[in-house]
């Protein structure tokens, strides 16, 4: 039985991965480290900024001096906001799914993005009111593919729900990345992967993979994932 829905953010709700890539690429270039889109999607997409920089520095044999990761992350956030276009695009079908789900279930976001980025963009696209719980990079110690973000989001939702707590198996997660799918399934949740950032063949660890959220409604997803 479905009782709660948790969404990833970048790559699921807002089409912003290219902006994150551009900002990360700029910072790494300033440190003498090249970055391609292929490397970004294969190694870093869905990681929080600090883990991205730790992984990139280690991968290229650079020492991680005290404080350097915090500084790189702040610089990347500055560049990210500078690259955002005025019209941040929602992925097709996601607003309808959010509005439909919010009529019946509590919703949360579990993302590796910084809270200031999530709050800004949710306000910009007019969807902030639908998410009483937002778990951001600052709220966890271990980012995706670790399940901590999803476990934390469910814990916060359960503090808002009266009656029996929601079990992980009663949660639907909507993800777009391999790391995110791994985090959701490790948390014991049912995972719908949308092929916005990867091919469907790269997301087969999810319980259900869709090319798009267009022309699909919540009942169809429930029947595919929760009705036996």
For residues 49 and 190, what is the distance between their CA atoms, to the nearest angstrom?
26
- Please give the pLDDT value at position 210: 97
Kindly indicate the confidence band of residue 84, based on its pLDDT and cuts at 50, 70 and 90: confident
Do 127 and 219 sit in the same domain of this protein? yes
Do 221 and 111 sit in the same domain of this protein? yes
Do 29 and 109 sit in the same domain of this protein? no
User: CATH number of the domain that 58 lies in?
Assistant: 1.10.150
63 touches 32 (CB < 8 A): no
Do 125 and 201 sit in the same domain of this protein? yes
Sign of torsion over alpha carbons 42, 207, 131, 151: negative
User: CATH number of the domain that 201 lies in?
Assistant: 3.40.50.1000
176 touches 144 (CB < 8 A): no
Residue 212 predicted with pLDDT over 90: yes
Kindly indicate the confidence band of residue 180, based on its pLDDT and cuts at 50, 70 and 90: very high
Do 55 and 98 sit in the same domain of this protein? no
Do 150 and 99 sit in the same domain of this protein? yes
- Please give the C-alpha separations between residue 227 and each of 131, 157, 190, 191, 219, in angstroms, as whole numbers: 25, 23, 12, 14, 10
Do 115 and 71 sit in the same domain of this protein? no
- Give the strand pairing for 133-135 and 208-210: unpaired
Residue 85 predicted with pLDDT over 80: no
Q: Which of 158, 114, 150 lies closest to 132, judged by CA?
A: 158
- Please give the pLDDT value at position 169: 97
Q: Which of 83, 114, 139 represents a domain boundary (last residue)? A: 83
Looking at the structure of the chain, the number of domains it has is 2
Render 87-130 in DSSP notation, one character per residue. SPPBPTTHHHHHHHHHTTS-EEEE-SS-HHHHHHHHHHHT-GGG
Kindly indicate the confidence band of residue 88, based on its pLDDT and cuts at 50, 70 and 90: confident
For residues 177 and 50, what is the distance between their CA atoms, to the nearest angstrom?
18
Which residue shows structure tokens 């906001």? 81
**How crowded is residue 214: how many other Cβ atoms within 10 Å of its Cβ?**
12
Q: Which domain holds residue 72?
A: 17-83
Residues 135-157 pLDDT 10s: 999 999 999 999 999 999 999 99
Kindly indicate the confidence band of residue 66, based on its pLDDT and cuts at 50, 70 and 90: confident
114 touches 138 (CB < 8 A): yes
Do 67 and 154 sit in the same domain of this protein? no
Do 169 and 221 sit in the same domain of this protein? yes
Q: Which of 67, 83, 99 represents a domain boundary (last residue)? A: 83
């Amino acid at each position: 039985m479905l009782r709660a829905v948790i969404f990833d953010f970048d790559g699921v709700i807002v089409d912003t991965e290219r902006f994150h890539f551009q900002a990360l690429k700029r910072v790494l270039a300033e440190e003498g480290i090249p970055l391609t889109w292929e490397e970004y999607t294969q190694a870093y997409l869905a990681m929080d900024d600090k883990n991205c920089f730790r992984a990139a520095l280690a991968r290229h044999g650079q020492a991680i001096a005290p404080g350097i990761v915090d500084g790189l992350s702040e610089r990347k956030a500055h560049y990210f906001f500078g690259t955002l276009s005025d019209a941040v695009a929602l992925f097709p079908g996601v607003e309808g799914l959010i509005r439909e789900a919010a009529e019946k279930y509590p919703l949360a976001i579990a993302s590796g993005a910084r809270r200031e980025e999530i709050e800004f963009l949710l306000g910009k696209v007019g969807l902030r009111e639908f998410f009483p719980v937002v778990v951001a990079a600052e709220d966890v110690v271990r980012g995706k593919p670790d399940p901590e973000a999803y476990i934390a989001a469910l814990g916060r939702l359960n503090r808002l729900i009266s009656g029996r707590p929601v079990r992980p198996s009663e949660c639907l997660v909507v993800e777009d990345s391999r790391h995110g799918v791994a985090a959701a399934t490790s948390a014991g949740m049912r995972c719908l992967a949308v092929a916005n950032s990867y091919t469907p063949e790269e997301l087969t660890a999810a319980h259900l993979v869709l090319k798009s959220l267009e022309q699909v409604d919540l009942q169809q997803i429930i029947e595919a994932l929760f009705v036996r």
